[in-house]
Structure 1
Protein backbone atom coordinates (compact mmCIF):
# COMPACT_ATOMS: atom_id res chain seq x y z
CA UNK A 1 0.00 0.00 0.00
CA UNK A 2 1.32 3.43 -0.94
CA UNK A 3 2.36 5.55 2.01
CA UNK A 4 0.57 8.87 2.27
CA UNK A 5 2.67 12.01 2.09
CA UNK A 6 2.17 14.84 4.63
CA UNK A 7 0.35 16.80 1.92
CA UNK A 8 -2.01 13.91 1.27
CA UNK A 9 -2.73 13.54 4.99
CA UNK A 10 -3.69 17.21 5.12
CA UNK A 11 -5.88 16.73 2.05
CA UNK A 12 -7.70 13.78 3.62
CA UNK A 13 -8.31 15.81 6.77
CA UNK A 14 -9.75 18.73 4.78
CA UNK A 15 -12.01 16.49 2.68
CA UNK A 16 -13.33 14.77 5.79
CA UNK A 17 -14.77 11.30 6.27
CA UNK A 18 -16.81 11.36 3.07
CA UNK A 19 -13.71 12.30 1.07
CA UNK A 20 -15.42 15.12 -0.77
CA UNK A 21 -15.13 18.90 -0.82
CA UNK A 22 -18.23 20.20 -2.50
CA UNK A 23 -18.18 22.92 -5.09
CA UNK A 24 -19.57 24.08 -8.38
CA UNK A 25 -23.06 24.69 -7.05
CA UNK A 26 -23.25 28.46 -7.16
CA UNK A 27 -21.49 31.76 -7.48
CA UNK A 28 -18.40 32.98 -5.66
CA UNK A 29 -18.45 32.81 -1.87
CA UNK A 30 -17.59 35.63 0.51
CA UNK A 31 -14.13 34.13 0.99
CA UNK A 32 -13.69 34.04 -2.79
CA UNK A 33 -14.48 37.75 -3.08
CA UNK A 34 -12.23 38.66 -0.15
CA UNK A 35 -9.32 36.73 -1.63
CA UNK A 36 -9.96 38.17 -5.07
CA UNK A 37 -9.98 41.71 -3.63
CA UNK A 38 -6.69 41.05 -1.82
CA UNK A 39 -5.16 39.75 -5.06
CA UNK A 40 -6.23 42.90 -6.91
CA UNK A 41 -4.93 45.16 -4.13
CA UNK A 42 -1.59 43.32 -4.10
CA UNK A 43 -1.26 43.54 -7.88
CA UNK A 44 -2.16 47.24 -8.07
CA UNK A 45 0.05 48.12 -5.10
CA UNK A 46 3.11 46.57 -6.73
CA UNK A 47 2.47 48.57 -9.92
CA UNK A 48 1.78 51.87 -8.16
CA UNK A 49 5.30 53.41 -8.22
CA UNK A 50 5.60 52.74 -11.94
CA UNK A 51 2.10 54.07 -12.63
CA UNK A 52 2.83 57.28 -10.70
CA UNK A 53 6.08 57.68 -12.64
CA UNK A 54 4.28 57.24 -15.97
CA UNK A 55 1.59 59.78 -15.11
CA UNK A 56 4.11 62.30 -13.80
CA UNK A 57 6.36 61.96 -16.84
CA UNK A 58 3.59 62.23 -19.43
CA UNK A 59 1.85 65.14 -17.71
CA UNK A 60 4.69 67.17 -16.21
CA UNK A 61 7.70 65.75 -18.10
CA UNK A 62 9.49 64.96 -14.87
CA UNK A 63 10.07 61.92 -12.71
CA UNK A 64 7.93 61.40 -9.65
CA UNK A 65 9.62 61.13 -6.29
CA UNK A 66 9.10 57.58 -5.06
CA UNK A 67 10.17 56.60 -1.57
CA UNK A 68 13.17 54.28 -1.43
CA UNK A 69 11.51 52.52 1.49
CA UNK A 70 8.39 51.80 -0.57
CA UNK A 71 10.49 50.51 -3.45
CA UNK A 72 12.46 48.37 -1.04
CA UNK A 73 9.29 46.68 0.19
CA UNK A 74 7.74 46.23 -3.26
CA UNK A 75 10.96 44.96 -4.84
CA UNK A 76 11.78 42.67 -1.93
CA UNK A 77 11.72 39.16 -3.43
CA UNK A 78 10.58 37.60 -0.16
CA UNK A 79 7.60 39.95 0.18
CA UNK A 80 6.64 39.53 -3.46
CA UNK A 81 7.11 35.76 -3.56
CA UNK A 82 5.50 34.82 -0.26
CA UNK A 83 2.57 37.22 -0.45
CA UNK A 84 1.93 36.37 -4.09
CA UNK A 85 2.24 32.63 -3.51
CA UNK A 86 -0.14 32.59 -0.55
CA UNK A 87 -2.74 34.66 -2.38
CA UNK A 88 -2.37 32.55 -5.51
CA UNK A 89 -2.78 29.27 -3.61
CA UNK A 90 -5.87 30.56 -1.82
CA UNK A 91 -7.39 31.88 -5.06
CA UNK A 92 -6.70 28.67 -6.97
CA UNK A 93 -8.29 26.49 -4.29
CA UNK A 94 -11.35 28.72 -3.92
CA UNK A 95 -11.83 28.94 -7.69
CA UNK A 96 -11.37 25.19 -7.96
CA UNK A 97 -14.12 24.36 -5.50
CA UNK A 98 -16.33 27.09 -6.94
CA UNK A 99 -16.34 25.31 -10.28
CA UNK A 100 -16.43 21.69 -9.13
CA UNK A 101 -15.83 19.21 -6.29
CA UNK A 102 -12.54 17.76 -5.09
CA UNK A 103 -12.78 14.12 -4.04
CA UNK A 104 -10.55 11.23 -3.08
CA UNK A 105 -9.96 8.69 -5.82
CA UNK A 106 -11.43 5.24 -5.43
CA UNK A 107 -10.73 1.86 -6.95
CA UNK A 108 -13.37 0.87 -9.49
CA UNK A 109 -14.13 -2.76 -10.39
CA UNK A 110 -12.35 -3.79 -13.56
CA UNK A 111 -10.34 -0.56 -13.67
CA UNK A 112 -6.64 0.02 -12.89
CA UNK A 113 -5.81 1.42 -9.48
CA UNK A 114 -5.82 5.24 -9.48
CA UNK A 115 -2.42 6.89 -9.66
CA UNK A 116 -3.41 10.05 -7.78
CA UNK A 117 -4.88 10.42 -4.32
CA UNK A 118 -7.32 13.21 -5.21
CA UNK A 119 -9.32 14.09 -8.28
CA UNK A 120 -11.51 16.95 -9.40
CA UNK A 121 -14.08 17.75 -12.05
CA UNK A 122 -14.70 21.39 -12.93
CA UNK A 123 -17.07 23.37 -15.11
CA UNK A 124 -15.22 24.63 -18.16
CA UNK A 125 -15.04 28.30 -19.01
CA UNK A 126 -17.12 29.23 -22.06
CA UNK A 127 -14.86 29.55 -25.09
CA UNK A 128 -15.54 33.31 -25.61
CA UNK A 129 -14.59 34.00 -21.98
CA UNK A 130 -11.50 31.82 -22.32
CA UNK A 131 -10.51 33.78 -25.42
CA UNK A 132 -11.15 37.04 -23.56
CA UNK A 133 -8.76 35.91 -20.81
CA UNK A 134 -6.06 35.24 -23.40
CA UNK A 135 -6.52 38.60 -25.14
CA UNK A 136 -6.67 40.46 -21.82
CA UNK A 137 -3.51 38.86 -20.47
CA UNK A 138 -1.72 39.48 -23.77
CA UNK A 139 -2.69 43.17 -23.70
CA UNK A 140 -1.63 43.48 -20.06
CA UNK A 141 1.72 41.82 -20.81
CA UNK A 142 2.33 44.23 -23.69
CA UNK A 143 1.50 47.17 -21.41
CA UNK A 144 3.82 45.95 -18.67
CA UNK A 145 6.67 45.52 -21.12
CA UNK A 146 6.01 48.53 -23.34
CA UNK A 147 4.87 51.41 -21.14
CA UNK A 148 8.16 51.71 -19.21
CA UNK A 149 9.91 52.32 -22.54
CA UNK A 150 7.96 55.57 -23.00
CA UNK A 151 9.70 57.34 -20.10
CA UNK A 152 13.15 57.91 -18.67
CA UNK A 153 13.15 55.66 -15.65
CA UNK A 154 15.09 54.00 -12.91
CA UNK A 155 15.09 50.19 -13.17
CA UNK A 156 14.05 49.86 -9.51
CA UNK A 157 10.76 51.61 -10.23
CA UNK A 158 9.70 49.20 -12.97
CA UNK A 159 11.42 46.07 -11.71
CA UNK A 160 8.14 44.53 -10.55
CA UNK A 161 6.47 45.43 -13.85
CA UNK A 162 8.93 43.24 -15.70
CA UNK A 163 8.64 40.58 -13.04
CA UNK A 164 4.87 40.47 -13.53
CA UNK A 165 5.37 40.30 -17.30
CA UNK A 166 7.78 37.39 -16.84
CA UNK A 167 4.99 35.59 -14.97
CA UNK A 168 2.09 36.57 -17.22
CA UNK A 169 3.73 35.70 -20.53
CA UNK A 170 4.16 31.97 -19.76
CA UNK A 171 0.80 31.86 -18.00
CA UNK A 172 -0.81 33.25 -21.13
CA UNK A 173 1.04 30.70 -23.24
CA UNK A 174 -0.59 28.02 -21.10
CA UNK A 175 -3.95 29.78 -21.45
CA UNK A 176 -3.59 29.63 -25.24
CA UNK A 177 -2.65 25.96 -25.09
CA UNK A 178 -5.61 25.27 -22.83
CA UNK A 179 -7.94 27.02 -25.27
CA UNK A 180 -6.64 24.96 -28.19
CA UNK A 181 -6.88 21.83 -26.06
CA UNK A 182 -10.51 22.46 -25.18
CA UNK A 183 -11.59 23.38 -28.71
CA UNK A 184 -9.91 20.36 -30.31
CA UNK A 185 -11.22 17.97 -27.68
CA UNK A 186 -14.76 19.29 -28.17
CA UNK A 187 -14.49 18.75 -31.93
CA UNK A 188 -13.17 15.22 -31.41
CA UNK A 189 -15.98 14.48 -28.96
CA UNK A 190 -18.66 15.71 -31.37
CA UNK A 191 -17.22 13.58 -34.18
CA UNK A 192 -17.16 10.49 -31.98
CA UNK A 193 -20.68 11.15 -30.75
CA UNK A 194 -22.00 11.56 -34.29
CA UNK A 195 -20.33 8.33 -35.42
CA UNK A 196 -21.50 6.28 -32.44
CA UNK A 197 -24.64 4.22 -33.13
CA UNK A 198 -25.64 4.11 -29.46
CA UNK A 199 -24.78 7.72 -28.66
CA UNK A 200 -21.91 6.73 -26.36
CA UNK A 201 -18.35 8.03 -26.67
CA UNK A 202 -15.71 5.45 -25.82
CA UNK A 203 -12.43 6.92 -24.59
CA UNK A 204 -9.36 4.77 -25.13
CA UNK A 205 -6.49 5.54 -22.80
CA UNK A 206 -2.98 5.74 -24.20
CA UNK A 207 -0.54 5.62 -21.29
CA UNK A 208 1.97 8.12 -22.65
CA UNK A 209 -0.65 10.75 -23.44
CA UNK A 210 -2.39 10.25 -20.12
CA UNK A 211 0.94 10.81 -18.36
CA UNK A 212 2.00 13.68 -20.61
CA UNK A 213 -1.21 15.59 -21.26
CA UNK A 214 -3.50 14.70 -18.35
CA UNK A 215 -1.47 13.81 -15.30
CA UNK A 216 1.36 16.35 -15.68
CA UNK A 217 -0.09 18.78 -18.25
CA UNK A 218 3.32 18.94 -19.92
CA UNK A 219 1.69 20.28 -23.09
CA UNK A 220 0.62 23.41 -21.21
CA UNK A 221 3.94 23.73 -19.39
CA UNK A 222 5.67 23.54 -22.76
CA UNK A 223 3.44 26.24 -24.25
CA UNK A 224 4.13 28.49 -21.27
CA UNK A 225 7.91 28.05 -21.31
CA UNK A 226 8.08 28.41 -25.09
CA UNK A 227 6.06 31.63 -25.06
CA UNK A 228 8.54 33.16 -22.61
CA UNK A 229 11.48 32.17 -24.82
CA UNK A 230 9.76 33.64 -27.88
CA UNK A 231 8.97 36.94 -26.16
CA UNK A 232 12.52 37.23 -24.81
CA UNK A 233 13.95 36.48 -28.24
CA UNK A 234 11.60 38.90 -29.97
CA UNK A 235 12.38 41.61 -27.42
CA UNK A 236 16.10 41.17 -27.88
CA UNK A 237 15.69 41.22 -31.66
CA UNK A 238 13.71 44.46 -31.40
CA UNK A 239 16.40 45.98 -29.20
CA UNK A 240 19.05 45.07 -31.76
CA UNK A 241 16.95 46.59 -34.54
CA UNK A 242 15.94 49.86 -32.91
CA UNK A 243 18.63 50.75 -30.36
CA UNK A 244 21.63 52.50 -31.93
CA UNK A 245 24.71 50.31 -31.94
CA UNK A 246 26.71 52.81 -29.87
CA UNK A 247 24.04 52.78 -27.16
CA UNK A 248 23.62 49.01 -27.21
CA UNK A 249 27.27 48.19 -26.56
CA UNK A 250 30.44 47.22 -28.33
CA UNK A 251 30.79 44.70 -31.15
CA UNK A 252 31.11 41.77 -28.75
CA UNK A 253 27.90 42.75 -26.96
CA UNK A 254 26.00 42.94 -30.24
CA UNK A 255 27.40 39.61 -31.43
CA UNK A 256 26.47 37.94 -28.15
CA UNK A 257 22.96 39.42 -28.26
CA UNK A 258 22.44 38.12 -31.78
CA UNK A 259 23.57 34.66 -30.74
CA UNK A 260 21.24 34.64 -27.73
CA UNK A 261 18.35 35.82 -29.92
CA UNK A 262 18.92 32.98 -32.37
CA UNK A 263 19.09 30.42 -29.56
CA UNK A 264 15.93 31.69 -27.85
CA UNK A 265 13.86 31.72 -31.03
CA UNK A 266 15.34 28.47 -32.34
CA UNK A 267 14.18 26.72 -29.18
CA UNK A 268 11.02 28.70 -28.47
CA UNK A 269 9.28 28.54 -31.85
CA UNK A 270 9.59 24.75 -32.37
CA UNK A 271 8.71 24.13 -28.72
CA UNK A 272 5.58 26.28 -29.04
CA UNK A 273 4.63 24.51 -32.25
CA UNK A 274 5.00 21.10 -30.65
CA UNK A 275 3.24 22.22 -27.47
CA UNK A 276 0.20 23.50 -29.37
CA UNK A 277 0.11 20.33 -31.46
CA UNK A 278 0.30 18.22 -28.30
CA UNK A 279 -2.69 20.14 -26.95
CA UNK A 280 -4.73 18.84 -29.90
CA UNK A 281 -3.98 15.25 -28.84
CA UNK A 282 -5.60 15.34 -25.40
CA UNK A 283 -8.30 12.90 -26.52
CA UNK A 284 -5.61 10.20 -26.52
CA UNK A 285 -5.39 10.43 -22.71
CA UNK A 286 -8.78 8.76 -22.37
CA UNK A 287 -9.89 11.33 -19.78
CA UNK A 288 -12.56 14.02 -19.75
CA UNK A 289 -11.33 17.51 -20.52
CA UNK A 290 -12.50 19.07 -17.26
CA UNK A 291 -10.99 16.47 -14.95
CA UNK A 292 -7.68 16.34 -13.09
CA UNK A 293 -5.90 14.27 -10.47
CA UNK A 294 -3.19 14.92 -7.94
CA UNK A 295 0.38 13.87 -8.64
CA UNK A 296 0.79 11.80 -5.46
Structure 2
Protein backbone atom coordinates (compact mmCIF):
# COMPACT_ATOMS: atom_id res chain seq x y z
CA UNK A 1 0.00 0.00 0.00
CA UNK A 2 1.39 3.40 -1.00
CA UNK A 3 1.97 6.30 1.31
CA UNK A 4 -1.24 8.29 1.95
CA UNK A 5 -1.50 11.76 0.49
CA UNK A 6 -1.02 14.75 2.84
CA UNK A 7 -4.77 15.35 3.19
CA UNK A 8 -5.40 11.75 4.24
CA UNK A 9 -2.43 11.86 6.60
CA UNK A 10 -4.04 14.81 8.38
CA UNK A 11 -7.28 12.85 8.58
CA UNK A 12 -5.57 9.85 10.16
CA UNK A 13 -3.97 12.06 12.79
CA UNK A 14 -7.25 13.82 13.60
CA UNK A 15 -9.09 10.51 14.01
CA UNK A 16 -6.40 9.23 16.34
CA UNK A 17 -5.47 5.67 17.22
CA UNK A 18 -9.04 4.36 17.29
CA UNK A 19 -9.66 5.79 13.83
CA UNK A 20 -12.97 7.39 14.79
CA UNK A 21 -14.24 10.88 15.55
CA UNK A 22 -17.62 11.61 17.09
CA UNK A 23 -20.24 9.37 18.58
CA UNK A 24 -23.47 10.72 17.17
CA UNK A 25 -25.09 11.12 20.60
CA UNK A 26 -27.15 14.08 19.41
CA UNK A 27 -26.28 16.11 22.51
CA UNK A 28 -24.60 19.46 21.77
CA UNK A 29 -21.30 19.91 23.54
CA UNK A 30 -19.94 23.12 25.01
CA UNK A 31 -17.80 23.52 21.91
CA UNK A 32 -20.88 23.08 19.71
CA UNK A 33 -22.74 25.85 21.53
CA UNK A 34 -19.66 28.07 21.39
CA UNK A 35 -19.28 27.51 17.65
CA UNK A 36 -22.99 28.08 17.09
CA UNK A 37 -22.92 31.34 19.07
CA UNK A 38 -19.91 32.59 17.11
CA UNK A 39 -21.61 31.77 13.80
CA UNK A 40 -24.80 33.60 14.79
CA UNK A 41 -22.88 36.63 16.06
CA UNK A 42 -20.79 36.73 12.89
CA UNK A 43 -23.89 36.52 10.69
CA UNK A 44 -25.70 39.29 12.58
CA UNK A 45 -22.61 41.49 12.74
CA UNK A 46 -22.14 41.35 8.98
CA UNK A 47 -25.78 42.33 8.43
CA UNK A 48 -25.91 45.10 11.02
CA UNK A 49 -24.52 47.97 8.86
CA UNK A 50 -27.15 47.22 6.24
CA UNK A 51 -29.89 47.07 8.88
CA UNK A 52 -28.84 50.50 10.18
CA UNK A 53 -28.86 51.89 6.65
CA UNK A 54 -32.30 50.48 5.88
CA UNK A 55 -33.69 51.81 9.15
CA UNK A 56 -32.28 55.30 8.61
CA UNK A 57 -33.50 55.47 5.00
CA UNK A 58 -37.03 54.32 5.80
CA UNK A 59 -37.38 56.49 8.92
CA UNK A 60 -35.53 59.59 7.66
CA UNK A 61 -33.17 59.19 10.57
CA UNK A 62 -29.49 59.99 10.73
CA UNK A 63 -27.32 57.37 9.10
CA UNK A 64 -24.78 55.80 11.44
CA UNK A 65 -21.41 54.99 9.96
CA UNK A 66 -19.50 51.85 10.91
CA UNK A 67 -16.25 52.43 9.03
CA UNK A 68 -13.25 52.09 11.29
CA UNK A 69 -15.19 49.96 13.78
CA UNK A 70 -15.22 46.21 14.34
CA UNK A 71 -18.37 45.96 12.22
CA UNK A 72 -16.57 47.72 9.41
CA UNK A 73 -13.66 45.29 9.65
CA UNK A 74 -15.97 42.26 9.59
CA UNK A 75 -17.66 43.60 6.46
CA UNK A 76 -14.38 43.76 4.60
CA UNK A 77 -14.73 41.11 1.85
CA UNK A 78 -11.39 39.47 2.66
CA UNK A 79 -12.00 39.35 6.41
CA UNK A 80 -15.55 38.14 5.79
CA UNK A 81 -14.34 35.33 3.54
CA UNK A 82 -11.61 34.04 5.83
CA UNK A 83 -13.59 34.20 9.08
CA UNK A 84 -16.65 32.78 7.34
CA UNK A 85 -14.76 29.81 5.93
CA UNK A 86 -13.11 29.04 9.26
CA UNK A 87 -16.40 29.19 11.17
CA UNK A 88 -18.12 27.10 8.48
CA UNK A 89 -15.51 24.34 8.68
CA UNK A 90 -15.53 24.29 12.47
CA UNK A 91 -19.32 24.27 12.75
CA UNK A 92 -19.65 21.62 10.06
CA UNK A 93 -17.29 19.32 11.94
CA UNK A 94 -19.01 19.95 15.28
CA UNK A 95 -22.48 19.31 13.83
CA UNK A 96 -21.34 16.24 11.92
CA UNK A 97 -19.80 14.64 14.99
CA UNK A 98 -22.86 15.58 17.07
CA UNK A 99 -25.22 13.72 14.75
CA UNK A 100 -22.84 11.04 13.52
CA UNK A 101 -19.26 9.86 13.29
CA UNK A 102 -16.32 9.82 10.91
CA UNK A 103 -14.02 6.81 10.82
CA UNK A 104 -11.33 5.12 8.78
CA UNK A 105 -12.89 2.98 6.05
CA UNK A 106 -12.86 -0.75 6.64
CA UNK A 107 -13.52 -3.48 4.13
CA UNK A 108 -16.56 -5.47 5.12
CA UNK A 109 -16.89 -9.16 4.42
CA UNK A 110 -18.76 -9.76 1.19
CA UNK A 111 -18.64 -6.10 0.22
CA UNK A 112 -16.41 -4.43 -2.30
CA UNK A 113 -13.70 -2.36 -0.65
CA UNK A 114 -14.62 1.31 -0.47
CA UNK A 115 -12.75 3.67 -2.75
CA UNK A 116 -12.39 6.36 -0.08
CA UNK A 117 -10.08 6.34 2.91
CA UNK A 118 -12.74 7.64 5.30
CA UNK A 119 -16.39 6.87 5.84
CA UNK A 120 -19.06 8.74 7.77
CA UNK A 121 -22.46 7.93 9.17
CA UNK A 122 -24.92 10.60 10.26
CA UNK A 123 -28.38 10.72 11.78
CA UNK A 124 -30.77 12.39 9.34
CA UNK A 125 -32.76 15.48 10.24
CA UNK A 126 -36.48 14.98 10.94
CA UNK A 127 -38.51 15.91 7.87
CA UNK A 128 -40.38 18.86 9.50
CA UNK A 129 -37.06 20.39 10.57
CA UNK A 130 -35.64 19.75 7.10
CA UNK A 131 -38.59 21.59 5.53
CA UNK A 132 -38.17 24.46 7.99
CA UNK A 133 -34.49 24.73 7.07
CA UNK A 134 -35.35 24.99 3.39
CA UNK A 135 -37.98 27.69 3.79
CA UNK A 136 -35.83 29.59 6.28
CA UNK A 137 -32.85 29.62 3.95
CA UNK A 138 -34.96 30.47 0.90
CA UNK A 139 -36.75 33.38 2.59
CA UNK A 140 -33.52 34.72 4.07
CA UNK A 141 -31.68 34.62 0.75
CA UNK A 142 -34.53 36.40 -1.05
CA UNK A 143 -34.73 39.05 1.69
CA UNK A 144 -30.98 39.69 1.55
CA UNK A 145 -31.07 40.13 -2.22
CA UNK A 146 -34.29 42.16 -2.45
CA UNK A 147 -34.35 44.50 0.57
CA UNK A 148 -31.38 46.66 -0.54
CA UNK A 149 -33.27 47.53 -3.72
CA UNK A 150 -35.95 49.29 -1.65
CA UNK A 151 -33.52 52.18 -1.09
CA UNK A 152 -30.75 53.97 -2.95
CA UNK A 153 -28.23 51.42 -1.70
CA UNK A 154 -24.47 51.64 -1.38
CA UNK A 155 -22.47 48.64 -2.60
CA UNK A 156 -19.86 49.09 0.13
CA UNK A 157 -22.54 48.55 2.77
CA UNK A 158 -24.67 45.90 1.09
CA UNK A 159 -21.94 43.91 -0.64
CA UNK A 160 -21.95 41.39 2.20
CA UNK A 161 -25.75 41.12 1.96
CA UNK A 162 -25.50 40.16 -1.69
CA UNK A 163 -22.67 37.77 -0.89
CA UNK A 164 -24.76 36.09 1.81
CA UNK A 165 -27.69 35.87 -0.59
CA UNK A 166 -25.49 34.37 -3.29
CA UNK A 167 -24.28 31.76 -0.78
CA UNK A 168 -27.62 30.90 0.82
CA UNK A 169 -29.52 30.60 -2.46
CA UNK A 170 -27.57 27.55 -3.72
CA UNK A 171 -27.52 26.11 -0.20
CA UNK A 172 -31.32 26.27 -0.13
CA UNK A 173 -31.38 24.46 -3.48
CA UNK A 174 -29.12 21.73 -2.12
CA UNK A 175 -31.29 21.45 1.00
CA UNK A 176 -34.37 21.05 -1.20
CA UNK A 177 -32.57 18.37 -3.20
CA UNK A 178 -31.52 16.53 -0.05
CA UNK A 179 -35.11 16.63 1.21
CA UNK A 180 -36.36 15.06 -2.03
CA UNK A 181 -33.47 12.60 -1.95
CA UNK A 182 -34.20 11.48 1.58
CA UNK A 183 -37.95 11.21 1.02
CA UNK A 184 -37.62 9.25 -2.22
CA UNK A 185 -35.07 6.88 -0.70
CA UNK A 186 -37.28 6.26 2.35
CA UNK A 187 -40.22 5.34 0.12
CA UNK A 188 -38.05 3.03 -1.96
CA UNK A 189 -36.66 1.41 1.19
CA UNK A 190 -40.14 0.77 2.62
CA UNK A 191 -41.30 -0.79 -0.65
CA UNK A 192 -38.28 -3.09 -0.79
CA UNK A 193 -38.65 -4.07 2.86
CA UNK A 194 -42.32 -4.91 2.31
CA UNK A 195 -41.41 -7.27 -0.53
CA UNK A 196 -39.09 -9.32 1.67
CA UNK A 197 -40.73 -11.49 4.34
CA UNK A 198 -37.80 -10.83 6.68
CA UNK A 199 -37.80 -7.09 6.01
CA UNK A 200 -34.27 -7.14 4.62
CA UNK A 201 -33.40 -4.79 1.77
CA UNK A 202 -30.97 -6.00 -0.86
CA UNK A 203 -29.04 -3.21 -2.57
CA UNK A 204 -27.35 -3.42 -5.94
CA UNK A 205 -24.83 -0.73 -6.78
CA UNK A 206 -24.68 0.87 -10.21
CA UNK A 207 -21.17 2.33 -10.67
CA UNK A 208 -22.40 5.51 -12.36
CA UNK A 209 -24.97 6.33 -9.69
CA UNK A 210 -22.61 5.41 -6.89
CA UNK A 211 -20.13 7.96 -8.21
CA UNK A 212 -22.71 10.57 -9.25
CA UNK A 213 -25.15 10.48 -6.36
CA UNK A 214 -23.21 8.98 -3.45
CA UNK A 215 -19.55 9.78 -3.86
CA UNK A 216 -19.68 13.26 -5.40
CA UNK A 217 -23.30 14.24 -4.63
CA UNK A 218 -23.55 15.86 -8.06
CA UNK A 219 -27.35 15.80 -7.81
CA UNK A 220 -27.21 18.24 -4.89
CA UNK A 221 -24.60 20.41 -6.62
CA UNK A 222 -26.90 20.67 -9.63
CA UNK A 223 -29.85 21.66 -7.44
CA UNK A 224 -27.75 24.32 -5.75
CA UNK A 225 -26.45 25.80 -9.00
CA UNK A 226 -29.94 25.71 -10.50
CA UNK A 227 -31.41 27.57 -7.54
CA UNK A 228 -28.76 30.28 -7.85
CA UNK A 229 -29.56 30.72 -11.55
CA UNK A 230 -33.28 30.90 -10.83
CA UNK A 231 -32.85 33.46 -8.06
CA UNK A 232 -30.48 35.66 -10.07
CA UNK A 233 -32.75 35.45 -13.12
CA UNK A 234 -35.79 36.34 -11.03
CA UNK A 235 -33.93 39.26 -9.44
CA UNK A 236 -32.99 40.69 -12.85
CA UNK A 237 -36.56 40.22 -14.06
CA UNK A 238 -37.87 41.99 -10.95
CA UNK A 239 -35.59 44.96 -11.61
CA UNK A 240 -36.65 45.10 -15.25
CA UNK A 241 -40.31 45.03 -14.28
CA UNK A 242 -40.38 47.46 -11.35
CA UNK A 243 -37.51 49.93 -11.73
CA UNK A 244 -38.55 53.31 -13.19
CA UNK A 245 -38.00 53.65 -16.96
CA UNK A 246 -34.44 54.62 -17.77
CA UNK A 247 -33.07 53.79 -14.31
CA UNK A 248 -31.98 50.30 -15.31
CA UNK A 249 -30.16 51.58 -18.39
CA UNK A 250 -30.73 52.33 -22.03
CA UNK A 251 -32.65 50.15 -24.48
CA UNK A 252 -29.57 48.06 -25.27
CA UNK A 253 -28.98 47.33 -21.57
CA UNK A 254 -32.60 46.28 -21.15
CA UNK A 255 -32.39 44.00 -24.19
CA UNK A 256 -29.21 42.33 -22.93
CA UNK A 257 -30.64 41.92 -19.43
CA UNK A 258 -33.80 40.39 -20.86
CA UNK A 259 -31.75 37.85 -22.80
CA UNK A 260 -29.69 36.98 -19.73
CA UNK A 261 -32.87 36.58 -17.68
CA UNK A 262 -34.40 34.19 -20.21
CA UNK A 263 -31.22 32.11 -20.35
CA UNK A 264 -30.81 31.95 -16.57
CA UNK A 265 -34.43 31.03 -15.88
CA UNK A 266 -34.61 28.50 -18.71
CA UNK A 267 -31.41 26.70 -17.78
CA UNK A 268 -32.10 27.04 -14.06
CA UNK A 269 -35.58 25.53 -14.21
CA UNK A 270 -34.47 22.65 -16.44
CA UNK A 271 -31.41 21.99 -14.28
CA UNK A 272 -33.54 22.04 -11.13
CA UNK A 273 -35.98 19.55 -12.64
CA UNK A 274 -33.12 17.25 -13.63
CA UNK A 275 -31.38 17.65 -10.28
CA UNK A 276 -34.52 16.80 -8.31
CA UNK A 277 -35.16 13.79 -10.54
CA UNK A 278 -31.57 12.64 -10.03
CA UNK A 279 -32.10 12.93 -6.28
CA UNK A 280 -34.87 10.34 -6.52
CA UNK A 281 -32.40 7.85 -8.04
CA UNK A 282 -30.08 7.55 -5.05
CA UNK A 283 -31.25 3.98 -4.43
CA UNK A 284 -29.34 2.98 -7.56
CA UNK A 285 -26.06 3.77 -5.79
CA UNK A 286 -26.52 0.70 -3.58
CA UNK A 287 -25.56 2.67 -0.48
CA UNK A 288 -27.27 3.76 2.72
CA UNK A 289 -28.34 7.39 2.52
CA UNK A 290 -27.10 7.97 6.06
CA UNK A 291 -23.51 7.27 5.06
CA UNK A 292 -20.82 9.06 3.11
CA UNK A 293 -17.35 8.40 1.80
CA UNK A 294 -14.29 10.54 1.17
CA UNK A 295 -13.08 11.19 -2.36
CA UNK A 296 -9.56 9.89 -1.72
TM category, shorter: over 0.9
Q: For residue 227 of structure 1, what is the aligned residue in structure 2?
A: 227
Aligned length: 295
186-195 or 245-254: which moved more?
245-254
Please tell me whether the aligned partners of residues 53 and 63 of structure 1 are also in contact (alpha carbons under 8 angstroms): no
* 1:90 CA drift (Å): 0.3
Give the whole-Å Cα distance in 1 for the aligned partners of 2:278 and 2:62. 47
Mean Cα deviation higher: 1-10 or 39-48: 1-10
Q: Does the C-alpha gap of structure 1 residues 72 and 22 become closer, same or farther in structure 2, counting only changes over 3 Å? A: closer
Q: 1:258 to 1:26 in 2, by over 3 A?
A: closer
Unmatched tracts of structure 1, length 5 or more: none
Distance change (3 Å), C-alpha of 1:26 and 1:262: closer
| 1:149 CA displacement | 2.2
TM-score, length-scaled by structure 2: 0.96
Alignment partners' CA distance in 2, 1:63 and 1:261: 37
Quick check: 69-78 or 33-42, which moved more? 69-78
CA distance in 2, matches of 1:112, 1:63: 67
Root mean square deviation of aligned Cα: 1.4
Question: Which residue in the other structure is 1:110 paired with?
Answer: 110
- Report the 3-state secondary structure (helix = DSSP H, G, I; strand = E; otherwise coil) of the residue aligned with 1:68: coil
Greater shift in the superposed pair: 105-114 or 95-104: 105-114
Any idea what the Cα deviations from partners look like across 1:241-293, whole Å, max 9, x if unmatched? Answer: 12233111112111111111122112111111100000000111111111001
Identify the residue that residue 181 of structure 1 maps to in structure 2: 181
Distance 1:259 1:160, change over 3 A: same
The answer as to 2:119 corresponding to 1:119 is yes
1:66 aligns with 2:65: yes
- Contact map agreement 1:74 1:160 (CA 8 A) in 2: no
TM-score (norm 1): 0.96
| Contact 1:63/1:153, CA 8 A, preserved across alignment | no
- Which stretch shows the higher mean deviation, 239-248 or 209-218? 239-248
Q: Distance in 1 between matches of 2:199 and 2:250?
A: 68
Aligned to 1:197: 197
Is residue 22–residue 100 contact of structure 1 (8 Å, CA) maintained in 2?
A: yes
Structure 2: 5+ residue runs without aligned partners?
none
Task: Provide the rounded CA distance (Å) in 2 between the counterparts of 1:151 and 1:86.
Answer: 33
Whether contact under 8 Å (1:145, 1:165) holds in the other structure is yes
Distance 1:19 1:189 in 2: 30
Q: Tell me how far 1:151 sits from its aligned partner.
A: 2.4
Q: Distance in 1 between matches of 2:154 and 2:65?
A: 10
Match status 1:217 vs 2:217: yes
Give me the whole-angstrom Cα distance separating, in 1, the residues matched to 2:274 and 2:3. Answer: 36
Inter-CA distance 180–160: structure 2 relative to 1 (3 Å threshold)? same
